[in-house]
Amino acid sequence: MKKAILIPVFNEEVSIKVVIDSLLKLRDRYDIIVVDDGSYDKTPDILKDYDIVVLRHCINSGYGAAIQTGLRYLYDKGYEQAILFDGDGQHPVESIDVISLEQIKQKKDIVIGSRFLSGYEDVGTLKRIALKFFSLIIYIVTKVTIKDPTSGFKCLNRRAMRYYISDVTPLSFPDADAMILAIKSGLTIIEIPVRMNKRISGRSMHYGLRAVMYMMNMFFSLILCVLKSDDELKMEE
Amino acid sequence: MDMPLKQKIFAIVLAVILLGIVFELVRRRKLKIEYSWLWILTGLSIPFLVWRYDLLLFLTNISGAVSSTSTLFAFAFFFIILLNLHFSIVISDMQNRLKYLIQENAILRQTIVELTDKKTKY
């Protein structure tokens, strides 16, 4: 089974070496694919030292576009499983095998590594409220409970990859809105408990005014997702 | 009630200048034909309102504006909003196309690397 770990990065010069080094021991089971979303720090130079696939965006295009580039590559190359893994060191390497096996065992299209199933919730109050709100919207619309819809640690099979590279997926903020559309498109999702690490460096892509804009955009995107008809979303088998 | 002659001349001169600039920009390929229509419409609506000043007065009357000048300004403002909306649509479309190009470029670059590696091995 062809499996890959997909790491979207943008200016991760401090953490990327640690993250890639920690992943190299899994190379017998997973290929490592990095999507450099137009980094202008030392990230591209660091990546050159590794014998791994690096897809480089010549212009910064955002997290969603970076994931899509990687998934397009993996889908075309016939990979059967893609594990989305952040380049900031937050995602636990030891959970990669767990999430991969769980996807095969449970036969689900998407497996999400959730912070909130392991009893470890090191997030701020505002973020927690926002996450609960998004979870509630997902539940109301789909009757599926997803406690950590913004988790970037996911395992996708080919059906899910195809969904992410389709025009249907809301790419600007592929979080709660993408989950709703995935479920409405007929994809199956489960969560497994994962204990996230502290970020090695940098800060979240949603900070300050960006966080406010993110909430507003996500809210608007959620409304659009809810209004999308099922016919628009049906995926061919 | 008719429009004063000076106002007529001023409005028509403005319209001619605007249409001339739009035409020249299209001719020099600085402005694409498909993006020029709203500007042409704006340029043509000015002489139209000079010709049918009674229509402007009618619009002033039904919109409750105090004077025909206010109606003209309101219409100009509405046109500018329409133009901005049009630009937003064009920019969004361009952004989508740019994203696709960036993705394609990234994948093609990797394909070149893989092909070069293969060639070196043989």
Cα–Cα separations (whole angstroms), residue B104 to A5, A163, A198, B7, B75: 20, 18, 34, 55, 43
H or E stretch including B122?
none
Order across the sheet with A31-36: list the strands: A53-56, A31-36, A3-9, A81-84, A154-157, A110-114, A189-193
Which residues on chain B place their C-beta less than 8 Å from a C-beta of chain A?
Answer: 98-99, 102-103, 105-107, 109-110
Residue A237 pLDDT more than 60?
A: no
Pick from B98, B105, B110: CB nearest A73: B110
Topology, domain A3-233: Spore Coat Polysaccharide Biosynthesis Protein SpsA; Chain A (3.90.550)
Maximum pairwise Cα distance, chain B: 89
Confidence of residue A187 (pLDDT cuts 50, 70, 90): very high
Could you give the CA distance from residue A134 to residue A226 in angstroms, rounded to a whole number? 13
State the Rg of chain B over Cα: 25
User: Token pair for residue A201?
Assistant: 């460096």
Predicted pLDDT of residue B49? 85
What's the mean per-residue pLDDT of chain B?
88
CB pairs under 8 A between A and B: 36
Q: Looking at this protein, which amino acid is placed at residue A78?
A: G
> What's the structural domain count of chain B?
1
Confidence of residue A229 (pLDDT cuts 50, 70, 90): confident
Residue A80 pLDDT more than 90?
A: yes
Could you give the CA distance from residue B97 to residue B93 in angstroms, rounded to a whole number? 6
The least confident of A13-27, A36-50, A223-237, B89-103 is A223-237
Contacts of A144 (CB under 8 A, 6+ apart): A138, A183, A189
Which residues on chain A place their C-beta less than 8 Å from a C-beta of chain B?
Answer: 35, 53-59, 61, 65, 68-69, 72-73, 76, 171
Predicted pLDDT of residue B55? 87
User: Token pair for residue A200?
Assistant: 């090695």
Cα–Cα separations (whole angstroms), residue B63 to B51, B66, B72: 20, 9, 11
Confidence of residue B34 (pLDDT cuts 50, 70, 90): confident
Domain carrying residue B109: 5-121
The C-alpha of A237 sits at a distance from chain B's nearest C-alpha, in angstroms, of: 25
- Give all strands (DSSP E) within B17-121, no chain letters: none
The C-alpha of B15 sits at a distance from chain A's nearest C-alpha, in angstroms, of: 40
**Residues of A in Cβ contact (< 8 Å) with B103:** 57, 61, 65, 68-69, 72
Contacts of A32 (CB under 8 A, 6+ apart): A4, A5, A7, A20, A23, A24, A50, A52, A53
Pick from B103, B109, B110: CB nearest A65: B103
**Residues of A in Cβ contact (< 8 Å) with B97:** none
Q: For residue range A108-165, what is the model confidence (pLDDT) as tens digits?
A: 999 999 988 876 566 677 777 888 888 898 898 889 988 888 888 999 999 999 999 9
- CB–CB of A4/A76 below 8 Å? no
Contacts of A208 (CB under 8 A, 6+ apart): none
Residue A216 pLDDT more than 60?
A: yes
Could B106 and A57 be called an inter-chain contact, meaning their C-beta atoms sit closer than 8 Å?
A: yes
Site from B102, B104, B107, B113 to mutate, A interface, most A CB atoms within 10 angstroms: B102
Residue by residue, what is the 3-state secondary structure of chain A? CCEEEEEEECCCCCCHHHHHHHHHCCCCCCEEEEEECCCCCCHHHHHHCCCCEEEECCCCCCHHHHHHHHHHHHHHCCCCEEEECCCCCCCCHHHHHHHHHHHHHHCCCEEEEECCCCCCCCCCHHHHHHHHHHHHHHHHHHCCCCCCCCCCCEEEEHHHHHHHHCCCCCCCCCCHHHHHHHHHCCCCEEEEECCCCCCCCCCCCCCCHHHHHHHHHHHHHHHHHHHCCHHHHCCCC
Q: What does the pLDDT average to over B27-38?
A: 87
Site from B97, B98, B99, B115 to mutate, A interface, most A CB atoms within 10 angstroms: B99
Residue A43 pLDDT more than 60?
A: yes
